[in-house]
Amino acid sequence: MLQMIIVFVLMLTGALLMLLAGIGVLRMPDTFLRMSATAKAGTLGAGLILLGAAIYFNDLAIYTRALAIVVFLMLTAPVAAHMIGRAAYFDGVPLWTGTVQDDLHGHYRRSTHSLEADMVPLPEQVNEVVEADDYAEEG
Amino acid sequence: MNDIIWSVILALISLALIAAFIRLVRGPYLPDRVVALDLISVLAMGFIIAYAVRFNQPNFLDVAIVLALITFLGTVAFAYYLERRV
């Protein structure tokens, strides 16, 4: 009985966090903010649901599998989010209008895909703005 | 009582799946869609695990392992493609 209560609490918390990730990805104003919702809330929700499954089955083989999935998720989620964020920024996806600070602005050279300490010449930035709407849809 | 709680858990994850799918359809940029796909696979993993516990089928956890592995590779491939495309 106590075991089922713990399982239900863990699973409900995990499901609520997953719903939070879904609402975040739908309502956040900008690609990078959406990514922050999915990477954190999604991973924590999956981890809690896995923990609930491990406690429910209460078997060494299941504990090992659940631990393997949780460790793998926590290793790969930040790496994947970093790679998508990097690609999105370099691809010219606009930031939210309320963004306060953009440290990379003007330091990325499009022709060589490299970051530089000095400011990159202006024509490349104009080029970036023009290409940014390349595949934007209406609505 | 237990049936109601299980229905609530699966319904919450399904609502999250619907929200992520709306973002996948609406875009507006390709990275947004990649993020939504990534979230959809994590949500599907959670749904499979909850289903495995609900119907007492521990073998379904292997599906979750495979899904976690493939999702990461797919996301990295999309990111690499996005970065080299411009």
At A137 the pLDDT is: 52
At B85 the pLDDT is: 72
ipTM: 0.91
CATH number for B2-85 (one of 1.20.58, 1.10.287, 1.20.1630, 1.10.3110): it is 1.10.287
Our CA-based measurement puts residue B74 at a distance from the nearest CA of chain A, in whole angstroms, of 9
Count how many domains chain A has.
1
**Is residue A40 in a domain?**
yes
**pLDDT tens by residue, chain A, 139 residues:** 899 999 999 999 999 999 999 999 999 999 999 999 899 999 999 999 999 999 999 999 999 999 999 999 999 999 999 999 988 888 878 888 888 887 777 777 766 777 777 777 654 444 444 444 445 554 4
**Is residue A71 in a domain?**
yes
Residue A69 to residue B58, Cβ atoms within 8 A: no
* Residue A75: partners with Cβ closer than 8 Å, 6 or more residues away: none
**Is residue A34 in a domain?**
yes
pLDDT digits (tens, 9 = 90+) for B21-59: 999 999 788 999 999 999 999 999 999 999 999 999 999
Chain B contact probe: residue of A11, A30, A51, A62 with most B CBs at under 10 A: A11
**Is residue A58 in a domain?**
yes
What's the domain range around A18? 2-77
**Which chain B positions have a beta carbon within 8 Å of A93's beta carbon?**
29, 31-32
Domain ranges of chain B: 2-85
* Residue B1: partners with Cβ closer than 8 Å, 6 or more residues away: none
